[in-house]
Structure 1
Amino acid sequence: MNTSQTTEDEKSWFAMRAIFHREMAAMRLLEAEGVEHFIPMRRQTQTIRGRQVSRLVPAIRNLIFVHARPETVRRIKARAAYLQYIPDAATGRMIVVPDDQMRRFIAVAGSCDDRLLWLRPEEVNWSRGMRVRVTGGPFCGQEGVLVKVKGARDRRVVVAVEGVVAIAMATIRPDLIEPIEGSAGHPARRPGSK
């Protein structure tokens, strides 16, 4: 996570809240302005007039990521008071997500797989995990941390936007996971070993 200010000339990913469940209104505003954004979505099935209907809904209420220059975000915020920066708990500064971290997060969260587990970052014991790369299946090429997460029987690969949200991928066979050598703080042991 990067909480430092960005330069005015470069686009950055800003973690934001669209309060009062107005993330879809924020999405429409950003689309009208031609601003790149991402709202993590999940598939929800509900019964309407006796029929099962599946639709996409926000996975985390109020959460939206905006990719723009700081000046553009300030201009849009001036028009939409419900759009607010998410502050870092430790520093109080706005959270700016590095491009590579956001790219990995979008690759997983954008799949809308109903087996994904959505977590708060503090729910994951990062120190007990190992940095890994997925070598096969729908998440092939993605990197994350292999950890035991609450609500799952086996360990899962977790990708996070630090300080905002974490997402645990569907169960992945151990033969489709390889450790990333030299990962700081995470020993390079084979997935599946204790």
Structure 2
Amino acid sequence: MEAEKDTEKESEIWYAMRATYRREPDAMRLLEKENLGCFVPMQYKISIKKGKKIRVLVPVVHNLLFVHARPSELKRIKSQVAYLQYITDTRSGQKIIIPDNEMQRFIAVAGSYSDHLLYFQPDELNLSKGTKVRITGGDFEGQEGIFLKVKGSRDRRVVIAIQGVIAVAMATIHPNLIEVIK
């Protein structure tokens, strides 16, 4: 009973995690069975099966998943599953924990599975060169991000980054639908 009381005091946190050997689908099923939140950024890719082109939904970055859980619940599950690992900040060695609002923004965009999204590793973008903006219309109205030039695109794009883990650049958004945040 004591352990249960402690768990109730804890709040759920978003963790950046790795499921080694491309086991993110297994990890997702396990976490869902345990009623824990999880999110794997996915995107459609064209693949050839028996000579036919088909669209398949695949993870954007293999082994990456985000888990929404109380620390003690995650610790319990992690102790049973060797392939689930925390992603840690290379400088501090701390587990990477993502603020709820940042994660909600990322899911709102990445969860659309759009073919027009571009994904980047953190070291591929210099976010400090961009401008902080808010989208004022369209599908992503209300979302905030950094407006900057990204490779693979002629135009500047709004980028939503999960610090030290991954960044997603939205499809080109008309400048009339973007306002600068002071």
TM-score, structure 1 as length reference: 0.87
Q: Which residue of 1 aligns with 2:130?
A: 129
Q: Which residue of 1 aligns with 2:3?
A: none
Q: Deviations over 1:81-105 (max 9, x none)?
A: 1000000011001001000000000
Q: Which residue of 1 aligns with 2:90?
A: 89
CA contact (8 A) 1:8 1:69 kept: no
CA positional deviation for 1:52 = 2.5
The 2-side partners of 1:140 and 1:35 are apart by 28
Q: Deviations over 1:106-132 (max 9, x none)?
A: 001001011111001121112211110
Q: Which residue of 2 aligns with 1:9?
A: 10
Q: Deviations over 1:31-78 (max 9, x none)?
A: 111111000000112222233221211111100100000011111111
**AA at the equivalent of 1:18:** A
Q: Which residue of 2 aligns with 1:30?
A: 31
> Is residue 172 of structure 2 the alignment partner of residue 178 of structure 1?
no
The 2-side partners of 1:120 and 1:162 are apart by 10
Q: Deviations over 1:149-190 (max 9, x none)?
A: 122111110001001001111111111111112xxxxxxxxx
The 2-side partners of 1:129 and 1:44 are apart by 29
**AA at the equivalent of 1:174:** P
Q: Which residue of 2 aligns with 1:162?
A: 163
The 2-side partners of 1:165 and 1:84 are apart by 17
CA positional deviation for 1:137 = 2.0
Q: Which residue of 1 aligns with 2:19?
A: 18
Q: Which residue of 2 aligns with 1:117?
A: 118
**AA at the equivalent of 2:122:** P
The 2-side partners of 1:9 and 1:138 are apart by 34
CA positional deviation for 1:8 = 6.2
Aligned residues: 175
Q: Name the % identity.
A: 54
Structure 1 segments, 4+ long, off by >2 Å, are 49-52
Alignment CA distance shift 1:78-1:8 (3 Å): farther
